[in-house]
Structure 1
Amino acid sequence: MMKIQRLTTEEMAHFKEQGYVIKRGLLDPELMAQARAALWAGAPAPLQRDDPKTWIGPFAETSDDPNSVRNGFTWKYRAPGSDLWMKQLLPLNPSVQAIAEQLLGVGTLQPPERLRGIYCMLPEGDRPAQPYHFHIDQHPFHLGVVAYIDDVVPNGGGFSVWPGTHRIFYPLFETQHTFTPKPEAQALLKEIDGQPHVDCHGKAGDVVFWHHRLGHSAGHNRSRNIRQAILYDFKHQDLARLQELPPHE
Structure 2
Amino acid sequence: MIDLVYSEALQQIAEELLGKDTLVKPKVGGKTMGQHGAAWPGGPVDPALDNEGARGIYATLPYGNKEKEPDFCHSDGHPFNLSLVGLIDDVLPNGGAFKVWPGSHKRLYPTFQLQYDQPRIAYYEHLPSYKGIIQSEAYEQEIKKVMEDTKPVDCCGSEGDVVLWHHRLAHMAGHNYSNKMRLAVLGDFIKKDLDENRAKPPQDNMWQDWSEDLNAASETYSDEMARLQKLID
- Which range, TM-score by smaller chain? 0.5 to 0.7
Partner of 2:198: 243
1 CA distance for matches of 2:151 and 2:66?
21
Query: Once superposed, what is the RMSD of the aligned Cα atoms?
Result: 1.1
Report deviation, 1:106.
0.6
Is 1:152 the counterpart of 2:152 in the alignment? Answer: no
Following TM superposition, the consecutive aligned residue runs of length 4 or more in structure 1 with deviations greater than 3 angstroms are none
- 2:75 equivalent among 136, 140, 153: 136
Taking structure 2 as the reference length, what is the TM-score of the superposition? Answer: 0.68
C-alpha distance in 2 between matches for 1:154 and 1:184: 32
For 2:137 and 2:196, the matched residues in 1 are separated by: 24
Secondary structure of the residue aligned to 2:3 is: helix
- Work out which of the residue numbers 87, 112, 122 in structure 1 matches 2:2: 87
Q: Which residue of 1 aligns with 2:145?
A: 191
1:141-191, Cα deviation, whole Å (9 max, x unpaired)? 000100001000111100000000000011111221012543211112222
Identity %: 46
Q: Partners in 2 of 1:178 and 1:198 — Cα distance?
A: 25
Normalising by structure 1, we get a TM-score of 0.63
1:89 alignment partner AA: L
Return 5+ residue gaps in structure 2 as ranges. Answer: 27-51, 120-134, 205-233
Q: Which runs of 5+ in 1 are unaligned?
A: 1-85
CA distance in 2, matches of 1:170, 1:228: 29
In 2: Cα distance, 1:151 partner to 1:192 partner: 28
- Using the TM superposition, give the Cα deviation of residue 216 of structure 1 relative to its aligned residue in structure 2, in angstroms: 0.1
Residue in structure 2 matched with residue 98 of structure 1 by the alignment: 12
Q: Render the CA deviation track for 1:103-152: whole Å, top value 9, x for unaligned.
A: 11010001112211110011111111111000000000000100001000
Alpha-carbon distance in 1 for matches of 2:97, 2:176: 8
Which of 173, 176, 191 lines up with 1:218 in the alignment?
Answer: 173
1:1-249 to structure 2, matched below 5 A, reads 86-91=1-6, 93-112=7-26, 113-180=52-119, 181-194=135-148, 195-249=150-204
**Structure 1: distance between partners of 2:184 and 2:196:** 31
Cα deviation 1:1-59 (Å, max 9, x = unaligned): xxxxxxxxxxxxxxxxxxxxxxxxxxxxxxxxxxxxxxxxxxxxxxxxxxxxxxxxxxx
Query: Aligned partners of 2:16, 2:113: CA distance in 1, in Å?
Result: 26
Partner amino acid for 1:120?
A: A
Q: Give the counterpart letter for 1:141 in structure 2.
A: F
- Could you say which structure has the higher helix fraction? 1
